[in-house]
């Protein structure tokens, strides 16, 4: 590369914290867990409690899937398949 006098290299942009929070993720749906508990114990109508609970299950199911995949990575395919078959249906219960 040839250096040209008087031209400084622009610094590389550092990752911003806002960009981290704006990434698509289901983690923000965890806010529905306490909402569901508050609706249930507050005497809300059953359909509201049901829909809040259905939304709250999504990130929990994602965590279960991610954790069983991590365990399968360390334990092997046979044990990983057993873990996935066992815990993969837990959110559906």
In the chain, the percentage of residues whose pLDDT exceeds 70 is 72
Q: Categorize the per-residue pLDDT at 68 as very low, low, confident or very high, splitting at 50, 70 and 90.
A: confident
CB atoms within 10 A of CB 65: 14
Q: What does the angle CA 84 – CA 88 – CA 90 come to, to the nearest 5 degrees?
A: 140
Q: Give the predicted TM-score (pTM) of the model.
A: 0.62
Beta carbons of 93 and 64 less than 8 angstroms apart:
no
**CA 4 to mean position of chain CA atoms:** 47
């Amino acid at each position: 590369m040839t250096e040209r006098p008087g031209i400084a290299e622009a610094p590389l942009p550092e990752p911003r914290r806002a960009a981290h929070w704006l990434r698509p993720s289901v983690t923000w749906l965890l806010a529905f867990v306490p909402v569901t508990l508050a609706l249930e114990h507050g005497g809300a109508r059953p359909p509201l409690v049901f829909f809040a609970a259905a939304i709250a299950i999504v990130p929990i199911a994602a965590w279960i899937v991610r954790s069983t995949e991590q365990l399968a990575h360390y334990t092997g395919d046979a044990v990983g398949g057993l873990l996935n078959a066992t815990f993969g249906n837990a959110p559906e219960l």
